[in-house]
Structure 1
């Protein structure tokens, strides 16, 4: 098994992504092939990983995926190193375990035997950072802390004081990064700005890599990598929604997990991408259409004006299945109300009306038991996924697609919906993004 490291932190906002991008590019510049991965349900970071490393990144999720599926997706034949980026704090997850854990990055590190490199934001503290690192190192058996990278160091004197604390804690310091706002990755309401939207992505990655080369002991970091998987790799059970899949792909519809597309292709399916923002309809040669999540609320006017897309999608849906997730689900509805209260016409395959005029965050893992089939999944199938959006439902006149619960088993009102079309087609949609089938 390829040796690996997990980049994590005590909390979100510590600088994991910036360090990850710098490491990926710096190691690539050394001639190493590094396989990037992301722990947790995140669409944005993997695209940044791919840009920095030249290798497709994919997600691992201990709540939604089985141990065998995680080990299979983490396997990287031909790579010199696996580098996985964690989410939130190292041990942060839900209260009730799922398939392989609580969704915490530590679950993945323990399962794969990857030592953890902690990124600690030391702004506003000095020796206390050592106590934090020591506490994290002793919190859970089976999770090894290889060392730390100090981030947002104010001065040489500040760095020296922090290093004293780390030495007292017995924690290795791989290097220290100064405060440097110019390489911070910008954010918006659903996380980071998408990689393809960043106006100076290559410059940011290049600058991060230069900083990493200058300030980190890369040889020591590479020497710390290891892998002792506790689970034999297995083949993920990923059922494609069709044989020829028309897949919406543009700035409004970009959130689909890479492991799903890979799984569809490995199962023999053909992906036929199209762009609703470019007013393109789904390929009429496809037998299924899939509308992923994304940012339709930022492009509601353009989607409302995309007559060829709407007409073509409606004709397609009359006789064949169409499925939408989150943003795709919203675009299948009757209307979308933007943050200014303007109502925009959507595709009308469902009666759903959603609104951003009154924002409310919906966030968390979801398990759904289907009440009717969706493309690729029979009725009564149990699916695991994740929901993250700020829109609210104004009207949903169609039947519920599934019974949905959160990670604690509590009922969730966003059940998805479906509608039969006159020519025999079936339109289905959910607010949650599919990650894997439940075992």
Structure 2
């Protein structure tokens, strides 16, 4: 049985610097020749994009609420077969998840599912002896969460570092290093989180600077040598399915938010996935029988999307001809009549008869359990899939009696009606669904595309 070094980088809260530390460790270990397999706790899309670029291997989401334990372990095992190390970035604070009353969906929950030790990142600004109290609180809150060591971030000076080390001597928790405040190595952010790699010009130099920062202030050899070996059960080689149908999926600067497992499950169900750019391409890919439009930042490319009239018309005609089209969040916005940003209206595909307007604060945030209210391209009425919703735009002027495709339940057990259909085979909503929560949804979509192709 193969074994690897594996650990989770967790934080005391959002904004403590765990992403910078994670990227620095990934880049530094990859530079040393390690085959580093990245993962992300929770539903985020942007962190995995950065992981992929820093580590040189595709990052995968491991979400303890959308996915069950067996699925999480299967994904982890699948992508660590040929790895030397696995680094999992946590979400929010170590114990933050679906509920304040229990651990589901939290980084601590994931560490137990995978039996991985946790390295806790602590923002040490304006703290001295209290830093030790905070560490002991995190370690004592749940003794079953294996915290292997602490990294202090944003340390102000050598004197500050010495004070922190003295404070930590009052505990038995290993201190793995102190990272000084470095504004020049932080990753830029915007309203939905970090800026996507496609929007950062000096990306590689930033990763290199993060690797240098980590190398200089952390003893990587000591960290790796003291981590336990994680056994990875062998897997049998899977026989790839001969594609039954071709599905185009939007992939460019405006649309990049896809769970990698969604794409894998579509391929496993018999789809050949063909990327295309709604920003740059004038025509849809040849011989496709379906479209998958994921999320992203269409509002940042609204002018270019609006200018690409030929492709917008092609997508509208594709939908009107009854070909399956599935769109979520940014892709859903692209299928509406227009996107309104800064009081300017940018025409989109016009498949759904309403517009989206960008707002100053987020309009929805959280996990969602979706039950199909009608038969759709993802399955029959009653099909359940889990997902996540986070967006700053809102729909304007929806017809009062327009039927909804989804019955949605949030974490507070509140229900709502969401999602829309058009032209029989087009389905769109703000919710990012994770097909691994119900792989049959991916199979149903591929089947719908294959049936339309055979007509």
Residue in structure 2 matching 1:321, options 307, 324, 328: 324
Q: Indicate the residue corresponding to 1:238 in structure 2.
A: none
Please, what TM-score do these two structures have when normalized by structure 2? 0.88
The superposition leaves residues 73-132 of structure 1 with CA deviations (integer Å, 9 ceiling, x where unpaired) of 11111211111000110000122899xx52111111011111100111100001111111
Alignment of 1:322-361 (within 5 A): 322-338=325-341, 340-357=342-359, 359-361=361-363
**Residues 427/114 of structure 1: CA separation in 2 closer, same or farther (3 Å cut):** same
Pair 97,3 (structure 1): closer, same or farther in 2 beyond 3 Å: farther
Partner of 2:271: 269
The alpha-carbon deviation at position 256 of structure 1 amounts to 0.8
Q: What is the Cα deviation at residue 279 of structure 1?
A: 4.0
Q: How does 1:110-125 map to 2 (within 5 A)?
A: 110-125=112-127
Note the C-alpha offset of 1:374: 3.6
2-structure distance, mates of 1:27, 1:151? 19
Flag the 1:329–1:276 CA change in 2: closer, same or farther, 3 A.
same
Q: Deviation digits for residues 244-281 of structure 1, max 9, x if unmatched?
A: 21101111111111121122223332111111111433
- Preserved CA contact (<8 Å) 2:338 2:345: yes
1:24 partner SS: helix
CA RMSD of aligned residues (A): 2.5
Deviation at 1:311, TM superposition (A): 1.5
- Deviations 1:210-269 (Å, cap 9, x if unpaired)? 12111101122113433668999999xxxxx98321101111111111121122223332
Query: Quick one: distance in 1 between partners of 2:71 and 2:169?
Result: 38
Deviations 1:196-218 (A, max 9, x none): 22111111111111121111011
The secondary structure found in structure 1 opposite 2:284 is coil
Higher strand content, 1 or 2: 2
Residue 425 (structure 2) pairs with residue 426 (structure 1): yes
The 2-side partners of 1:127 and 1:186 are apart by: 31
Aligned partner of residue 93 in structure 1, secondary structure: coil
Correspondence for 1:212: 214
8 A contact 1:281–1:310 mirrored in 2: no
Asked if the contact 1:26/1:209 (under 8 Å) is kept, the reply is: yes
The answer on whether the counterparts of 1:2 and 1:77 sit within 8 Å (CA) in structure 2 is no
Q: Contact (CA 8 Å) 1:68, 1:232: kept in 2 or not?
A: no
Residue of structure 2 in register with 1:385 after alignment: 387
1:389-428 matches, cutoff 5 A: 389-397=391-399, 398-413=402-417, 415-420=418-423, 426-428=425-427
Give, in angstroms, the shift of residue 25 of structure 1: 1.4
TM-score computed with the length of structure 1 as normaliser: 0.92
Which segment is superposed worse, 51-60 or 297-306?
A: 297-306
Unaligned runs of 5+ in 1: 236-240
Q: For 1:154-169, what aligned pairs fall within 5 Å after superposition? A: 154-169=156-171
